[in-house]
Amino acid sequence: MQDLTVHLFDARGVAKRFRHAAIFGALEQLNRGEIMRFVNDHEPVPLLQQIRQRYQDQVQIVAVSQQPGEVVFDFSVFPAGSDQDDATPPPVGSCGGGGGGCGCSGG
């Protein structure tokens, strides 16, 4: 198995009105074998629902840690249940993002 690249996204340092757009923009830039480690000060229930609705099984969400004041999730473009070594994941987003910078992340 290849080494996975983990990119930290600490949402606590992003203004609340920009957070979701910044997170979706970052997700659109993930390539195969990369993980976005998302850190926040609370469990982002609406965000997780939006990610599941928008990307369905194209983005895997894994809870890493859930402590008061700091929750951590890993987001990756490996579809759930796929063989991560051999499978090529489908493009992230409806317009073929997945590292291509599609520009549709604004909503």
Query: Over the stretch 39-94, which tens digit does the pLDDT of each residue have?
Result: 999 999 999 999 999 988 889 999 999 999 999 999 998 654 555 444 444 444 43
User: How many domains does the chain fold into?
Assistant: 1
Look up the domain containing 100 and give its range: 1-107
Query: Over the stretch 11-47, which tens digit does the pLDDT of each residue have?
Result: 999 999 999 999 999 999 998 879 999 999 999 999 9
7 - beta bridge partners?
A: 36
Look at residue 89 in the predicted model and tell me its pLDDT.
Answer: 41
Look at residue 83 in the predicted model and tell me its pLDDT.
Answer: 53
3-state secondary structure 70-81: EEEEEEECCCCC
Q: Measure the CA–CA gap between 58 and 56, rounded to whole angstroms.
A: 6
Confidence label for 2 from pLDDT (cuts 50, 70 and 90) = low
Q: What is the largest CA-CA distance in the chain?
A: 38
Look at residue 4 in the predicted model and tell me its pLDDT.
Answer: 77
Contact predicate 75/35, CB 8 Å: yes
Is 0.85 topped by the overall pTM? Answer: no
Look at residue 56 in the predicted model and tell me its pLDDT.
Answer: 87
